[in-house]
Amino acid sequence: MKAVNSLFCRAALGAALLFTSAASGQTPVYLDPSKDIEARVEDALGRMTLSEKINVIHAQSKFSSAGVKRLGFPDFWTDDGPHGVRPDVLWDEWEQAGQTNDSCVAFPALTCLAATWNPQMAALYGHSLGEEALYRGKDMILGPGVNIYRTPLGGRNFEYMGEDPYLASRMVVPYVQQMQALGVAACVKHYCLNNDEEYRHQVNVIVSDRALHEIYLPAFEAAVREGHAWGIMGAYNLYRDEHNCHNQYTLNRILKQDWGFDGVVVSDWGGAHDLDQAVRNGLDMEFGTWTDGLTMGATNAYDNYYLSRQYEQAILSGKYTTRELDEKVRRVLRLFFRTTMNRQRPYGFLCSEEHYETARQVASEGIVLLQNRGGVLPIRAAEAKRILVVGENAIKMMTVGGGSSSLKAQHEISPLQGLRDRLKGQTQVDFARGYVGDVGGSYNGVTTGQDLKDERPAEELISEAVEKARGADYVIIFGGLNKADYQDCEGHDRKQMELPYEQDRLITALARANKNTVYVNISGNAVTMPWTREVPAIVQGWFLGSEAGRALAAVLTGDVNPSGKLPFTWPASLKDVGAHALDAFPGTWREGGKIIDEEYREGIFVGYRWADRQKTRPTFAFGHGLSYTTFELSNLRQSARETRDGRLTFTVSVRNTGTREGAEVVQLYVSDLKASVERPLKELKAFSKVTLRPGESRDVELTIDRLALSFWDEQSNGWKAEPGDFQVLVGNASDNTPLKAKFRLVE
């Protein structure tokens, strides 16, 4: 019988063959794979034993859950993203499994993807990552992340898509759609209000319903309603005193009832805390609870999970019926039929030329030229005899570290190597260390193999760099943050906004020594820049993955014309950030010291909304980004002066007035001129990226609907658009919207 069962199981991998044991007196039953998935789910559910149902709703290893072998369902494998497929770890340990075929392409961090302002790049990203996941045998990628950039101190901001809910919504949908088109489930995270890393298990967020729905939920809602995401990961933090991995309000009411989510809610690893809440409050699959390496519990404790044997015993004792269990299992089976039981899934590819091209293209398009006084950039290689590259971030590998997004990249081109390769035979490229930061290079058994130790004091390092700078045609400093603790890293938030490792001293000294100084900031967060008037050119370089050096070299030398735009406001200091100005971060410990209450006192006024309200001038505005060419926006037209349904189309002419091809992002913001509640001065509601040749002009259409005019009404608990006068503001950054048009919403 074992041989027969094995034969059936192999067939079931593709054909959804379901059968019962001959010992039961029944003949094998074949379920028609052409039938609707829901019929197949109900058929399978009716054949499962209680133990089989329990087995599929919790982990059996660090990253897998059990299938149903008797019915031909294979095990289900997840893996961390969202920037690449994480290397495999041991069954019950976080250390590497020692495989030699689990290297990957490291794609740019999601802040860079958001900075492209190009949904087509998000689609290409999701497709490429999905192919890598398929080749590695992964059924679900734990990503993308869409939590809102609330403060520059957020440790995991580099994994998310910026501060604006509309931008994040437009970028997450194609990522999810293209990954899932391959039969790999996206697990959008971390739902929701996960804006802290320090004490993340203890933070209870207090936020208005309006801010919740207008700022922190829209990207998740878009992923569910438009992207049809098959998975959502609950967050570690609490909301309304319930952990978000089993939260009656966010999971049962909003996600599953209001949005109609039919996928699976997965706990973050170790995010479940209570049996009754796990049963009743929307959690479907439990991972990471009380296993070695996260919460310091027992080894191989999977049977001790809340949704494991104790749940089964509670059902057998009559504490619970199987109603909640069957609903969880239905969702898991639906996930199986979409992934492991999907006969149409391709084989996938790993480390293909196309995937490296995706990584390079996203990186190049997401790099932001923040400042370029005097046209210092692009580097004129024909005129440059010698270039000095300075800074640890010019040589440090950034794909290893930072938490669960750490990767084992097949290769990573450093900025220094990228420039040397590009300028080989033309220009001498020297290097000076400049500063010593994080010399470590390992995470969960993956090591960079770099030895970055340097015992020289800061004064000596700065002096050496300055001396070399005096004779160089260009000085390019690669500084910023790294993925060490308390920088851009899971588990900790930053302690300050200033650059670490005395970099400000270094940058100031080099700018004084050489007028052609370029600063490239490598980070997923804003940093203070007290030297902006002294440094002519500033570039935001992000964490760019495998093709980092090539992408940066292409932009710096002008092979690629930069077109990235900031996905968050770059404040001059923390006092210009609402959460800090109102002393609303990081919260206050309750009496007893077990829970931190963090009130989002700034409400809906996050990022540029706060800057507009307070009339503060950021270092660089949301949506800001320069080019090596120039553009002119003109002739704003509208489809009507009045609207009843809120739908209007605006047309703007865009002309490339420079001397080289480039891309511009046309941004449309909406302002409610008179409202019954306080509203932001303006809000992003449409954008479009257009590429133009020198002298070329094109009309760009931007369409808005009623939702673009609405606010969340806490009285009616829904979206409300009040009749009256509105204005659209169109430009290429939140602080540069010269084109304006008024219209009226009528009853």
Task: Tell me the catalytic residues.
Answer: 268
3-state SS class at 446: strand
3-state SS class at 285: strand
* 261 touches 255 (CB < 8 A): yes
Amino acid sitting at position 420:
R
In a 10 Å sphere around its CB, with 0-12 CB exposed, 13-18 middle and 19+ buried, how is residue 323 labelled?
exposed
Residues whose CB falls within 8 Å of the CB of residue 191, separated by 6 or more in sequence, listed in order: 220, 232, 233, 234, 235, 244, 250, 251, 255
| DSSP conformation class of 214 | I
3-state SS class at 674: coil
Using CA of residue 42, residue 43, residue 49, residue 55, what is the dihedral sign?
A: negative
| Cβ atoms within 10 Å, residue 368 | 25
| DSSP conformation class of 373 | G
Alpha-carbon separation of residue 493 from 138, 168, 266, 568, 598 (angstroms): 30, 22, 24, 17, 15
Rounded Cα distance between 528 and 383, Å, is 32
Asked if the peptide bond before residue 378 counts as cis, ω within 30 degrees of 0, the response is yes
Alpha-carbon separation of residue 208 from 35, 603, 681, 714 (angstroms): 45, 7, 19, 9
Interstrand relation of 446-447 and 76-80 (parallel, antiparallel or unpaired): unpaired
Which is nearest to 567 in space by CA: 222, 192, 223, 167? 167
In a 10 Å sphere around its CB, with 0-12 CB exposed, 13-18 middle and 19+ buried, how is residue 630 labelled?
middle
Rounded Cα distance between 102 and 253, Å, is 40
What sections of 640-687 are H helices per DSSP? none
Q: How many whole angstroms from its chain centre is CA 175?
A: 10
| DSSP conformation class of 306 | T
For residue 387, what are its two tokens?
């270039």
